[in-house]
Amino acid sequence: MGSIRPLKEEDMQSFAQIAINAYPGIFESTEDALNQTADNFWELQLHDSSIEHYGYWKDGLLAGGMRLYSFQMNFHGKMIQIGGVGLVCVDLLHKKEKIAKEMIDFFLRHFEQKGINVVALYPFRPDFYKKMGFGYGTKMHQYKLAPNSFPYSVDKSNLVYLDSSHKDLLIECASRSAHRVHGMFIKSENEIKRMLSNPKMKTIGYLEGETLKGFIQFYFKKGSDSNFIYNHLVIKELVYESPDALAQICTFLHSQQDQIQQIILNTQDSFIDYLLSDPRNGTNHLIPSVYHETNTSGTGIMYRIINIERLLHDMATIPVCHIDKSCRINIQDTFMHQDQKQTVSLMCIDGTIRVKDAEAPTDFEAEIDISDFTSMMMGNITAARLYLYGKLQVSDADCLETLERLCASFKPPICTTGF
């Protein structure tokens, strides 16, 4: 068992070396790259209060590390604090020593002690984190589209290039979007600065008077090593607050057809096909009997509730569908609470969730794992579907509709923040 503590400036070189070895596809392994990576890590922590690096020491040597994030997230219309973890890495000589498991355990308890009830991460292996109680979030869909698949409305007069002078407008636009959409994180000022200072990225915004009502950030990707005019446009982020903002951005994309072969769009919007004239991705692959391939999908961001009762108390201000029965839910969490089940009793008063005394009598009981309970509360899966899959047990099947109605208004979360 090692010790975990915050990294200091003098530790960054060792941490950078471990990270470079753990993620060779991201970092270069030259001496200059090592020095630059260490400097970048320290500068990031120094100038962004939402980021902190922690190291795992074993026998006096740094054997692993991670980056912790503090975010604000829209949780069904209410802004809450949420913790995040990234850059989890273990020294090559210390693999299979359960160091990553110990660091994740520290991460969960660190944020629970700070009064935070939900955490999130992007998994290197979903099954590894599922066993630790993380539930699947919303899938990401990748579309590869012909530019003329986007609607064309002639007018794009409100579109302008965005630079550092538009920083405040971009912060305000991103903040409004986050307050409007469940699952969205508030972008920090430093995150916006990094967006605008990246020379690879182009950012175009929709200005309505003095207000930014939408923006698209993208970059160009070479499509062929032998044909310099065969290129793609990759959308990094797309935000819009009105039909006109989206229409003008789509017109811009449509008008790139003379220069761009495909527009690559990564989105969690499961309805995007209805925007496009042709959502097919150009593979001409048919799925039986006659279903044209439109996109590829992947599971990514995962969430975990780390304090159930506190979160449910916080949900007292979030409207839900009325239920007329009370329910005791037994939640299995073998990672944080070993073999001891957590029990909460719920009822609905005036269209909001209320927590009852755990020992109070209820109309029925349910049993579920913390990972699936998290996904259900986030809005990624329904109680009925979990019941059919054998992931949710209820003492009275006739009462299943009560749980279904409780979460009926929950929409899947949308997250555009990578970390």
> In Å, how far are 116, 174, 193, 375 from 305, measured between CA atoms?
9, 25, 31, 9
What digits encode the pLDDT tens for the residues 28-55?
889 999 999 999 999 999 989 899 999 9
Same domain, 281 and 333: no
Coil, strand, or helix at residue 12?
helix
Higher pLDDT, 143 or 319: 143
Same domain, 279 and 330: no
What digits encode the pLDDT tens for the residues 151-183?
999 899 999 999 999 999 999 999 999 999 999
Same domain, 223 and 313: no
| Residue 202 in this model has a pLDDT that exceeds 90 | yes
Same domain, 312 and 285: no
| Residue 123 in this model has a pLDDT that exceeds 90 | yes
Sheet holding 78-90, edge to edge: 3-6, 51-58, 61-75, 78-90, 118-121, 302-305, 135-136
Inside any domain, residue 93: yes
Inside any domain, residue 90: yes
Same domain, 26 and 86: yes
Q: What is the CATH number of the domain that holds 112?
A: 3.40.630.30
Same domain, 204 and 325: no
**332: Cβ–Cβ under 8 A, 6 or more apart, which residues?**
341, 367, 368, 369, 370
Q: What is the CATH number of the domain that holds 330?
A: 3.30.1050.10
Q: Are strands 61-75 and 78-90 parallel, antiparallel or unpaired?
A: antiparallel
Average pLDDT, the chain: 94
Same domain, 147 and 290: yes
Same domain, 147 and 282: yes
| Residue 137 in this model has a pLDDT that exceeds 80 | yes
Same domain, 187 and 82: no
Inside any domain, residue 106: yes
Structure token digits, residue 353: 């969730």
Same domain, 261 and 402: no
Q: Domain range holding 388?
A: 307-409
What digits encode the pLDDT tens for the residues 321-359?
777 788 889 999 999 987 677 888 887 777 778 888 877
Inside any domain, residue 127: no
Q: Are strands 364-369 and 352-356 parallel, antiparallel or unpaired?
A: unpaired
Inside any domain, residue 148: yes
Inside any domain, residue 146: yes
Quote the number of domains for the chain: 3
Inside any domain, residue 131: no
Same domain, 96 and 175: no
Q: Among residues 243, 272, 295, which one ends one of the domains? A: 295
Inside any domain, residue 415: no
* CA–CA dist 64, 54 (Å, integer): 9
So what's the pLDDT on residue 53?
A: 98
Q: Among residues 262, 295, 328, which one ends one of the domains? A: 295
* The model's pTM: 0.93
Same domain, 191 and 289: yes
**CB atoms inside a 10 Å sphere around CB 256:** 16
Q: Give Rg (Cα) of the chain.
A: 23
What digits encode the pLDDT tens for the residues 71-113?
999 999 999 999 999 999 999 999 999 999 999 999 999 999 9
* pLDDT more than 90, % of the chain: 81
Q: Find out whether 148 and 244 touch, Cβ atoms under 8 Å.
A: no
